[in-house]
């Protein structure tokens, strides 16, 4: 929220001007009836000082906007109180100079101004702090609304992910193909079939057990990915190899749950499925400033048409990252010289 909320719409600006009109009328009544001031003097004084103060009120937005709410309360109060004193001093000096030398109301106004200087100064401080508080309320309310919208979107995405769990996280074709492979193996290699059944059971158990989690350790995600790849190995045998280049310090870091699964499914579906040569799947992970950088690279055959799909898996990853971390562009896709690479940037 960078734009001044009062200038953001004509309605807000009209309400602000109406507020200052009422303040100017009250100010005039105080001068004219309360202090027995001259009518012309009171009108001029009220118009000049309130026009100046309304302009300063718009300017108060900028120190509020760029002062972090993470600072201590003492520091925030001290800074704004100091700013209020300086702004009020400038307001009184400019207003007095304008009326005395431009409008030229004479010595009578100087005497009148000096007699009311103290309460004018206190009034200026009060308005400054009130407007500053108003801006902080606007910022807090705006941030609260943004958080509420983001949480609602995230809950909706989680619900959608649960409803489409088999499509996004466990490819149904992978399950069917695995069952077919196990069926064939029971006759020719029962031990291998038994091993595959146990791995598939572990894979499904992990997926269901972690379905409600928002984040998980990268080491746990890798264990499940390796199970997935071992199961796929039964079907594709030597058509792909997995290279794990994840640095040890990355293993304990938390990443969104099941974030790697769609990456590997995408690589198997579009690179391994119809290739005639061996595909190397390389997973790398390292820290870069405030990000955990995960990248999956695979080679592919340029002339191969590959399996066509809706790209739901990669889109789902990008949407999840944006909603979880509140940042865009946390996923980068590169395709060059028969190399396909997907890189994820996980904020730490």
pLDDT in tens, the chain (348 residues): 567 888 888 888 898 899 889 989 998 888 888 777 678 888 888 899 999 999 888 888 888 877 766 667 788 888 888 888 998 999 999 988 888 877 776 777 788 888 888 888 998 899 888 888 888 888 888 888 888 888 888 777 775 665 455 344 556 667 777 888 888 888 888 888 888 888 888 888 877 777 667 788 999 889 888 988 888 888 788 889 999 999 888 988 999 888 888 888 888 888 887 777 899 999 999 988 889 999 999 988 776 655 555 466 788 788 888 878 888 889 999 988 889 999 999 998
Question: Are 284 and 223 a contacting pair, CB within 8 Å?
Answer: no
**If we measure between CA atoms, which residue out of 180, 253, 264, 255 comes closest to residue 228?**
264
The terminus-to-terminus CA distance of the chain in angstroms comes to 24
| The pLDDT value given to residue 65 | 79
Q: Which residues contact 139 (CB under 8 A, 6 or more apart)?
A: 1, 64, 65, 69
Residue 331 vs residues 55, 66, 200, 269: alpha-carbon distances, Å:
45, 30, 29, 19
Domain boundaries, the chain: 10-154, 165-347
**If we measure between CA atoms, which residue out of 319, 342, 244, 330 comes closest to residue 288?**
330
Q: What angle do CA 268, 274, 278 make, to 5 degrees?
A: 70
What are the tokens at 180? 């077919």
What's 165-347's CATH class?
Answer: alpha beta
Give the pTM: 0.53
| The pLDDT value given to residue 166 | 39
| The pLDDT value given to residue 243 | 93
- 1/10 Cα distance (integer angstroms): 17
């Amino acid at each position: 929220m960078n734009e001044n909320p009062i200038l953001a719409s004509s309605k807000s600006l009209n309400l602000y001007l109406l507020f200052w009109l009422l303040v100017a009328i009250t100010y005039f009544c105080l001068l004219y009836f309360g202090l027995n001031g001259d009518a012309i003097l009171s009108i001029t004084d009220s118009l000049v000082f309130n026009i100046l103060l309304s302009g300063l009120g718009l300017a108060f937005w900028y120190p509020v906007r760029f002062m972090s709410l993470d600072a201590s309360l003492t520091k925030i109060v001290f800074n704004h109180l100091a700013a209020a004193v300086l702004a009020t001093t400038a307001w009184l000096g400019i207003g007095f100079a304008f009326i005395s030398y431009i409008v030229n109301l004479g010595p009578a106004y100087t005497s009148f101004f000096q007699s009311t200087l103290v309460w004018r100064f206190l009034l200026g401080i009060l308005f400054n702090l009130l407007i500053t508080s108003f801006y902080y309320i606007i910022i807090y309310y705006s941030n609260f609304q943004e958080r509420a919208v983001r949480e609602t979107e995230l809950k909706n995405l989680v619900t959608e992910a649960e409803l489409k769990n088999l499509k996004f996280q466990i490819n149904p074709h992978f399950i069917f193909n695995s069952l077919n492979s196990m069926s064939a193996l029971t006759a020719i290699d029962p031990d291998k079939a038994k091993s595959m059944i146990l791995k598939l059971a572990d894979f499904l158990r992990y997926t269901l057990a972690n379905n409600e989690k928002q984040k998980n350790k990268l080491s746990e995600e890798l264990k499940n990915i390796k199970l997935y790849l071992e199961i796929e190995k039964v079907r594709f045998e030597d058509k792909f190899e997995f290279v794990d280049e994840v640095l040890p310090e990355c293993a304990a870091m938390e990443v969104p749950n099941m974030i790697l699964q769609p990456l590997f499914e995408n690589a198997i579906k579009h690179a391994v499925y119809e290739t005639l040569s061996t595909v190397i799947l390389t997973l790398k992970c390292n820290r870069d400033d405030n990000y955990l950088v995960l990248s999956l690279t695979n080679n592919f055959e340029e002339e191969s048409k590959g399996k066509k799909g809706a790209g739901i898996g990669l889109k789902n990853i990008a949407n999840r990252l944006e909603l979880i971390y509140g940042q865009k562009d946390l996923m980068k896709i590169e395709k060059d010289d028969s190399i396909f690479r997907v890189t994820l940037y996980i904020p730490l």
